[in-house]
Structure formats: C-alpha cells, structure tokens
Amino acid sequence: PIAMNIHWTEANFRPQGTSVTDAAIAPLKDVTSLTDLNLAGTKITDTGLATAEGLSYLTRLHLELTSITDAGLAHLKNLTNLNYLNLYGTAVTDAGLEHLKGLRKLKHLYVWQTKVTEAGVKNLKAALPNLEISTGAELTAVAKKEDDTKKEEKKEEKK
C-alpha cells in the first residue's frame, strides 16, 4: 500500500509493464502531488484511468501501448495542468480527442499508430492552436525517404 501523506511527484510503472493492472494503480488516487505518471505498456484500462481524475497537478501522462480508448480520455478532461500526453499505439479515435479540447496547457500530444485522422488533428488544433501533435506522419516520411535512397543506391550498385 501507498503511505499516507506521501508527496511523490513521479510514478513510473513502465518497467513492471503488463503486470500493472487497474487494481495496482488504484491507490494513486490519493497521491495528488503527482506531476508525472508513466503507465506505458501496462494493462491499464479505461476504467482504471479514472484513478487519474483527481491528479490535478499532473503535467505528463504516458499511456502509450495500453488498451485506452476514447472512453478513457473522458477521465482526463479535468487535468488542466497536463502539458504532455502520449497515446501512441492506443485505440483512440477523433471522438476521444474531443475530451482534450479544454486542456489549455496541453503542448505535446502523440497519436502515432492510433485511429486518429488528419481531420481529428485539425479539429483539435483549432481548439488548441499551441498544441504540437505528432501523428507519426513525419517519421513515416523519413522512413520512406530512407527506403527510397537505399533502393536508388542498390540500383546504382547493379550498374
């Protein structure tokens, strides 16, 4: 159990990975001093993400490679200090991004390998113009360019 009156600012569950479940993080609801929470690669669900609702000081939240969906993002709408959110590899869609529109301090959002579309990105950017949204498109473009370069080099070698 988590000790009463503890003043943690960071909790990183990534090293424990898939052994971390909703029940394992439930006590965090009482650690309101948290500013950085890493749940990447854990078995956290939308229901378990309700634990984060009262973490008003939270500025960074890693949810990449979890089963979080649009329903889970509804639990984040009151995290007004959040400035970094990583949703890489989740099942989040454009509908889930609607829950983030009130997060005025959000500056960095990662939605690569999600179900978010370009239209959803534009819609959220209209509400939060200072938000940088990484869709992975830039990484895909770099990878394609590298691939094309390698193909050209092989063609040149064959000549």
Residue 15 identity = P
85 inside domain:
yes
Q: What angle do CA 80, 62, 20 make, to 5 degrees?
A: 120
Tokens of 58: 């939270």
**Residues 6+ away with beta carbon under 8 Å from 46:** 67, 68, 69, 71, 72, 75
CA 137, CA 60: separation in Å to the nearest integer? 23
140 inside domain:
yes
Mean pLDDT of 19-40: 90
4 inside domain:
no
33 inside domain:
yes
Containing structural domain, residue 110: 10-158
Q: Which of 27-31, 84-88, 95-99 has the lowest mean pLDDT?
A: 27-31
Domain count across the chain: 1
- Given this model, what pLDDT does residue 1 score? 44
CA 68, CA 2: separation in Å to the nearest integer? 24
CATH of residue 70: 3.80.10.10
Q: Is the pLDDT of residue 47 over 50?
A: yes
* pTM score: 0.82
3 inside domain:
no
CA 138, CA 77: separation in Å to the nearest integer? 28
- Checking DSSP bridges between strand 36-38 and strand 60-62, what pairing results, if any? parallel
**Is residue 64 exposed (0-12), middle (13-18) or buried (19+ Cβ within 10 Å)?**
buried
What does pLDDT average to over the chain? 87
5 inside domain:
no
CA 106, CA 157: separation in Å to the nearest integer? 49
150 inside domain:
yes
51 inside domain:
yes
CA 67, CA 81: separation in Å to the nearest integer? 24
